[in-house]
Amino acid sequence: MQNTRDFCVVLITTPSLDNAKQLARIVVSEHLAACCNIVPTVYSYFSWKEALHEAQEALLIIKTHRELLAALQQRVSELHPYDVPEIIALPLEASAEPYLQWLHEVLKPE
């Protein structure tokens, strides 16, 4: 039986759907993520360099193992076009056991 606390959900905003697709393909193919969902349009309001900004972005929802989180953050930081990419990890509180087993099998953390 897998422990839900071994896994997390990572949220990353990107400037475009194409950028989100590119990041998703890379992190899944490099086994840093088991799955990426993309919400193609989110509207973001944020403070940057002492000014209020408004942007239309895409949102990546990534499922990964906590042991892979640092490597995932590093890889996304290398590829992401923003100076300060949003990379927020949330603990997985509950999930169906078959899904957790699938995550474990796909990710094969060390």
Q: How many folded domains does the chain comprise?
A: 1
Q: How far apart are CA 2 and CA 4, in angstroms?
A: 6
> Which two structure tokens, joined as six digits, stand for 77?
């930081």
Q: Is the dihedral of CA 4, 5, 7, 8 positive or negative?
A: positive
pLDDT of residue 110: 62
| pTM of the predicted protein model | 0.92
Of 3-7, 23-27, 105-109, where does the model show the most confidence? 23-27
The string of pLDDT tens digits covering residues 59-107 is: 999 999 999 999 999 999 999 999 999 999 999 999 999 999 999 999 9
Q: Which residue range(s) make up the domain with 94?
A: 4-107
Return the ∠ at Cα 65 (arms to 62 and 67), rounded to 5°: 130
Region 31-52 average pLDDT: 96
pLDDT of residue 109: 64
User: What phi and psi, each to the nearest 5 degrees, are found at residue 84?
Assistant: -130, 85
Q: What is the CATH number of the domain that holds 73?
A: 3.30.70.120
